[in-house]
Structures are given as C-alpha cells and as structure tokens.
Structure 1
Amino acid sequence: MSTMVPVLLSLLLVVGPAVAQDTQDGPYSLSFLYTGVSRPKANIPGFQATGFLNDQPYLHYDSKSRTAEPLGPWKQVDGMVNWENESQLQQARQDIFMETLEDVMGYYRDRGNHSFKGRFGCEIRNNSYIGAFWKYAYDGEDYIKFNTEIPAWIPLQPEAVNTKVKWETEGSVQASKNYLEKECPDMLRSYLQYSRTFLDRQDPPSVSITSHVTLGLIRTLKCVADNFYPKPISMYWTQADSVVETESWGEGPLSENGTYQSWVVVKIPSLSRGPYSCHVQHSSLAQPLTVTWNKSQ
C-alpha cells in the first residue's frame, strides 16, 4: 500500500486556495509535529499531531479524540480552518503515519515498543519563500530527511534506505518539493490573514532580582525576565559599567499564556555591596531596561 503519496495528498488537500494579501516582514513559519508510538500506555494517545504558526501551537489532534481542535487564541478565530475537514484529514494522516511506523519496525526486525516522529514546515519573509524542512526520527534518532535542492530523500540510518526506495518509487520526490516550496507557503500566507495579530504582538518583560548567600562566602544574584514575547531577548549584568561574567543563564518553554521566561545568574563575594545592574534588551522595549541591586536593598 502506498505510504508517502497519500501523506502528501492529504497535506495538499488542507491548503485550499491562497488569498492575495500584503504579507510583509517576518519571518513567519508554518510547521507540524507528528508523534506515533507502537505500544501506547493506557489513556495515552498512540498518535498525536500539533500544528505551529511560528512558535505558537494553533492545532491539536490525537488518536483518542480523533478531532482536530484549535489551540490558544485561535479558539476565538473563525474562518481560518474548516475544523471538520481538518479532523478527517488528520484521521487519514494518522492511518498513513502509523503504517509507516510499522514499515520501519519491519526494517529493523523489531516489533517491540518504538516511537516515530515527523517534523515538516516552511518559512516566508516579506511574502517570499525562504526555506523549509522535512525530517523523521525513529526512537529519538534521526532517520530520514528531505533535501529540496537535490531533490531527494536522504537516509540517515542504513535501514532508512528501504524507506527512501519505497517513497521515491512511489513518486513522492516532486510532490514533496512542491508541498514544501509552494503549497505550504501558500497555506501560511492564507493563515497569516487571521494570525498576524498574535504572531506580531510585543509583550514586554517584567524583571525582578533575587539574592541569596551560600556558606557565607558567595552571593548569588538571579535576574529573571517574565511574561515576554517574542522569544529573542538579551540579558547581562554589570558593576560600575563593567560587564560581570555570567555564572549561568536559562530560558523556559512557551507558557500556557503564550509568553516566555528567561534568567541570568552571577556570583559575587558575599560582602560586596554593589551596586550590580541587570540589563534587559527586548524588541518590545523602546530602550534597554535596567534593574539595580545593592546590599542596602
């Protein structure tokens, strides 16, 4: 039974006609993540799909509900997606994706507990296509990917040669290239009519500093930026206008309210009185934000 071609056909069906519009700046991306497991645990779906606009999840489907549903602010958007049709398409994709997992398990001659993930998507800037990707992983290891320049499926494990031969024999190469370079960008352009308000928003960070002393010798200062969007942010410490070497830094995942958190840590002598200043630069800020700590605080 054909595997790759039906996948592509189901992808193309969801696109619909592109609508001319003024889509500038960006970049903007549309991507999907598919996950399947051969032996799902109780109450855990064997197959799940999530759609993303930039880093924002807008669609979810799983094999238990068998229903595609909007996520986040897209719950209040009408007209962007026909969710009944989307559910039918995701059901078809689920069947094909899980059949592919069965094929791959056969190539490894192992019918145990295994996982399969697929990621694919495209990106545009100033209304023009600028790039795309399509890659699969088996049990967490890269398995096969598509190269749009050759074009061809590139096996990343010896067993993936079987998948390459099967898919390319079925004629998937040109359809894959067409989807990534034309159909996906067209769908993204049409979605942006409904989504730029969410994707272009600028949420400024709230910044706070915590301080604690370890063993009476070292003071740890942690500067935390909360509730900002988009994700890129710059944070650093200074003392008397000199940059202080960072001990560590980190960033959190996208939160349920669609914002990010990031932090930067420095360690100083416990007797130091400061002042020490945390500087934050973000696209939502007209100028860098500075928060100062000194021991008298």
Structure 2
Amino acid sequence: MAKWLTRSRFFICVLTVWLISHPCLSDTHQDKLEKHYLHYMFTALTKADLFPDFTAVGVVDDRLILDYSTEVPDWTRLILTEDDGIETLVQQYDSKDWYKHQLHILSNCTNCSELHAFQRLIGCEVEKFNGTVTSLRFFDEYGFDGEDFMTFDSDTLQWIDKCPKAKEMKKYWDLQTGRNQFIKDYFGKCMEWILIFNNTYKNSPEVYISARRDPDDHSKLDLSCLATGFYPRDIEMNIRLNESVLDNQTSSEIRPNANETFQMRVSVKIDRNSEGSYDCFVIHSSLTEPASVAWDGKCSTFETESQQTFIEVILSVLVLSVVSVMLCSVVILCQCKKESNESFLAVGRNHHHDYGAVSERIAMATR
C-alpha cells in the first residue's frame, strides 16, 4: 500500500510539472485570456472635513469614465456620453440623499462628530478565452464602516445580509420589488455596455525597435522592442529572427501610461555579428492585422555620447573652478594691498554673505 501511495505521489508530481511546462499553458498563450469589467463605487460619509460627503466614481478596464461629488454637482462622463443605466438607477431610486439617509439610519445620528462610511460597489466582470466567454459575474454589494453589509441575489431578487445590523434593513429592501427588478435588468445592460466600450475605444500601439551594446559582454547586443500607447491592455509582442520567435526574451510586463493607455517592452541578447532579419512582431485587438517593425541593424550610441558629454562637463567645471580661484586670489591681494586696515575675516564675512544670497535664490527656485 505504501509503495502504491509513493508511486501515486510521484505520478502526480510528474503530471503537475508537465502541465506547468506544457506549451499550451505557457506564458506565450496567456494573452488570449481577456478580462473586462465595469465598476461603480458610491461613498457617503457622516463627517467630511477633508473629503466630500458623497462621491460616485465609474471605472471600466482601468479607465475612469465617470466622476461625481457634492463639490462638483454634475455627472461628468469622461469618455462616453450615452447612459449605461447607472444614472437612471440613481435618478429613480438611489439618489445621493438616499445614500445619506441609509447612512444616518445605520450610524443612528444626523450630525455625527464621528466618521462613518456607507459604500456600494455595483457592476459586472467578464472573462473571455480565445474570444469565448468563460465567466460572467454580476454584483451589487454594500459595506458599512469597512465591513460587509449586504449583497444582492439576482436569481431570487432578494438581499443577503452580511452582518446583524443589516437584518432589519434587508426586510425593507426585499419589499422594494421595482428597485430589485431594475437592478437585475441593469446587470444585462452592464454587460452590453462593456462589449460596446471595448469594440469602440481602442488605441493602436506605437512600436519601436533598437539595439545597444551589452555593457557586460561587448560581443553581444541588447535588442529591445517597445510598444506604447495601446488600449485595451491585452497584447502579444515578440522579437523574431527571420520570422521565428527568439528564445530567452525578457519582458517588462504590461505597464500603465499617464494617459490611461499601456506600454510593454521585450528584450533579448543577440550576437553582435549575427546576420539575419530581426523584427518586432505585435498582435493587438486594435490592429486589423499583426504589425511588424524591422530592425535597421544600427546600434544606439546614446550611452557613449552621454559618457563623452559627462566628461566634457566635468572638464569645463574644473577649468572654471581654477579660473575662479585665480580671480579670487587676485581680488584678495588687490584688496589687501589697497586697504591694509581691512582684516581677512572681514573679507570672509563678505563672501559668506554672497553664498547666503545664492542659497536663498536656490530655495526660491525650488518652491
């Protein structure tokens, strides 16, 4: 029995290693898994000395699409102008006054000196693999003072209480059949809106390929490919030699840009004297066909030029320092000769005053 148990464990270990290393499950295929989401967050505060007492924020796939607060009392849509259903929900059922009312009930006060928070997260998420939807999730969840409070069950149109304080409010919310049906209908519209957004708002990547000398091995070059400014997030990028993907590529992973697009860089070491056609091959949903940018075979000399410029700057500073010392010496000798009664300490104080003025200008410039 022990022998079979040992063999079974060995078989499971081998099977696990094979599954992890299998090419179908390798990182090169992870880009085919797409994740999209639409989230709305509502927050009401009892004591808002530093923050608005009510805010609403909408985010779709890392992009801010809606921003509202009591300080700016307008629904500001940053990307789309059409209503995806959430504003109708707010206007008909859950206005900012509704959130404040629920908060006052839970905190048991209207003008609280303590801080209490009532929050809501509503939206949907979808996962697609190779273009096929594999997972859908709809949710409408509430929290009070940082703890789970209530969540909605769209199948039964009932609310699920998450803490003792939510039990009484659940009974009242369950009776609001019109509101509950609207929330369920919104879930379907939420999914449609995600698909519309991802089919409408796409940015094509800008692709650059360059090479520089490897600082550790002068017989090698670091060949690098950069794709930037693309949206949505998912992208596939590889450096190829004669249309064959090279091994041992390193990736920066996908990173966000300041304008809510993304960037990614891949690099690989190649022989300095290698021959062949190198290119950067990019696949992205914004492109009607894959993009290929060929390397021109040139090596960047930026680092060499930078080092030379640095040396020139150092030499210039040294020359100016020597000239300044010589001039200061001449000035001191002339002053000592012209005014024999002026002490060396007085000259030192005058120079110290000049340095103080410079430090003041630096402080002003850095404010």
Name stretches of at least 5 consecutive residues in structure 2 with no aligned partner: 1-34, 127-135, 300-367
TM-score, length of structure 1 as denominator length: 0.58
Read off the aligned partner of 1:66 and give its amino acid letter.
P
Q: Following TM superposition, by how much is the alpha carbon of 1:295 offset from its aligned partner in structure 2, in angstroms? A: 5.9
Same amino acid, percent of matched pairs? 21
Q: Do the aligned residues in 2 keep the contact of 1:30 with 1:184 (CA within 8 Å)?
A: no
Instruction: Identify the residue that residue 135 of structure 1 maps to in structure 2.
Output: 141
> Rg: which structure is higher?
2
Aligned length: 247
Going from structure 1 to structure 2, the CA distance change for 1:261 and 1:123 (only over 3 Å counts) comes to closer
C-alpha offsets along residues 137-196 of structure 1, whole Å, 9 cap, x if unaligned? 56777654323235544456xxx3422x1332113375564223225546987x89xx95
Instruction: Identify the residue that residue 89 of structure 1 maps to in structure 2.
Output: 91
After TM superposition, the structure 1 = structure 2 runs for residues 1-297 of structure 1, keeping only pairs within 5 Å, are: 31-40=39-48, 42=50, 44-51=51-58, 57-72=64-79, 74=81, 89=91, 93-101=95-103, 116-121=118-123, 132-137=138-143, 144-149=150-155, 152-154=158-160, 160-163=163-166, 165-172=167-174, 174=177, 177-183=180-186, 185=188, 200-209=200-209, 216=216, 223-239=225-241, 241-244=244-247, 245-252=249-256, 256=259, 260-266=261-267, 268=269, 277-293=279-295, 296-297=298-299
Going from structure 1 to structure 2, the CA distance change for 1:140 and 1:167 (only over 3 Å counts) comes to closer
Relative contact order, higher structure (CA 8 A, sep 6+): 1
Normalized per residue, the structure richer in helix is 2
Going from structure 1 to structure 2, the CA distance change for 1:212 and 1:139 (only over 3 Å counts) comes to farther
Q: Following TM superposition, by how much is the alpha carbon of 1:250 offset from its aligned partner in structure 2, in angstroms? A: 1.7
Q: Do the aligned residues in 2 keep the contact of 1:236 with 1:278 (CA within 8 Å)?
A: yes
Normalized per residue, the structure richer in strand is 1
Name stretches of at least 5 consecutive residues in structure 1 with no aligned partner: 1-26, 125-129
Distance 2:103 2:71 in 1: 18
C-alpha offsets along residues 231-283 of structure 1, whole Å, 9 cap, x if unaligned? 43222344551343434302316x65xx6213033353796868654321112
Going from structure 1 to structure 2, the CA distance change for 1:224 and 1:134 (only over 3 Å counts) comes to farther
TM-score, length of structure 2 as denominator length: 0.49
Backbone CA RMSD of aligned residues: 4.9
Distance 1:97 1:200 in 2: 33
Q: Do the aligned residues in 1 keep the contact of 2:209 with 2:279 (CA within 8 Å)?
A: no
Distance 1:211 1:121 in 2: 45
Read off the aligned partner of 2:139 and give its amino acid letter.
F
Q: Do the aligned residues in 2 keep the contact of 1:49 with 1:61 (CA within 8 Å)?
A: yes
Q: Do the aligned residues in 1 keep the contact of 2:157 with 2:174 (CA within 8 Å)?
A: no
C-alpha offsets along residues 8-60 of structure 1, whole Å, 9 cap, x if unaligned? xxxxxxxxxxxxxxxxxxx9976522234555454x42321134577765543
Q: Following TM superposition, by how much is the alpha carbon of 1:120 offset from its aligned partner in structure 2, in angstroms? A: 1.0
Distance 2:272 2:164 in 1: 63
Read off the aligned partner of 1:135 and give its amino acid letter.
E
Going from structure 1 to structure 2, the CA distance change for 1:171 and 1:105 (only over 3 Å counts) comes to closer
Q: Do the aligned residues in 2 keep the contact of 1:224 with 1:261 (CA within 8 Å)?
A: no
